[in-house]
Amino acid sequence: MISEWDGNANDAMPGCHAVVLCGGAGRRMGTRKERLEFNGEPLLLRLCRSLSEIAERVTVVAERKREYEFLPGDVRVIEDDVAEFGPIAGICAGMAASELPLQLVVACDYPLAGPTVWRALAETMARHPEADAVLPEAGGKLHPLCALYRSHTLSIWQAALVSGNRRVMEATERMRFVKWLPGANASDQLMNMNTPEDYRLAKERLRS
């Protein structure tokens, strides 16, 4: 259980399953975000490598089964339960792929997020055993697609899917969640990338 984790910066998070969402079509970007290059490698590979440092398992969810030849063999790739429904379908499919008690959900448009963020979310969860989720808050907004959830929240996501409700924040409002507020050094890691200009800025910040 996460409450047993001592927060050591070099440790994995026991019982953690990482879910990477690759369902978006990337219309504003003009191409699929997960294949964008960062430091000579696809963004999806960068994210999966980072998540593998702290999660016991990593699962990639796409809106249809895709081949990512660059991913290591221990990263599982699965398909959304409901095509073209949005992130909630991906979350449902990803969470259902593992019975581990913690589910770290990360969309592939968070190019700068890394272990500093993942471990801070886990430390916050450990301090709040009553919480169903830990959501980062940066830039005056919550980031439910770069957040840590307990596995029992799957029922809430599934209820939203069945009801046809695509609003991620409306689903999280049915949970007992706590916020994590990053310091100045970590706030850039929660940059959300949607356009070519965002991509340029992300690469610039990565170099700096």
- The predicted-structure confidence for 124-175, as pLDDT tens digits, reads as follows 999 999 999 999 999 889 999 999 999 999 999 999 999 999 999 999 999 9
CATH number of 2-207: 3.90.550.10
- More confident of the two residues 82 and 34: 34
For the chain, the structural domain boundaries read 2-207
Q: How far, in Å, CA of 68 to CA of 42, rounded? A: 10
Q: Which of 14, 106, 21, 4 is nearest to 54 (CA)?
A: 14
User: What mean pLDDT value characterizes the chain?
Assistant: 88
Q: Using 50, 70 and 90 to split pLDDT, how confident is the model at 185?
A: low
Tell me: pLDDT of 6 over 70.
no
Q: Give the pTM.
A: 0.90
Average pLDDT of 35-58? 93
3-state secondary structure the chain: CHHHCCCCCCCCCCCEEEEEEECCCCCCCCCCHHHCEECCEEHHHHHHHHHHCCCCEEEEEECCCCCCCCCCCCEEEEECCCCCCCHHHHHHHHHHCCCCCEEEEEECCCCCCCHHHHHHHHHHHHHCCCCCEEEEEECCEECCCEEEEEHHHHHHHHHHHHHCCCCHHHHHCCCCEEEECCCHHHHHHHCCCCCHHHHHHHHHHHHC
Q: Give the model's confidence band at 87: pLDDT under 50 very low, under 70 low, under 90 confident, else very high.
A: very high
Residue 52 has pLDDT above 80, yes or no: yes
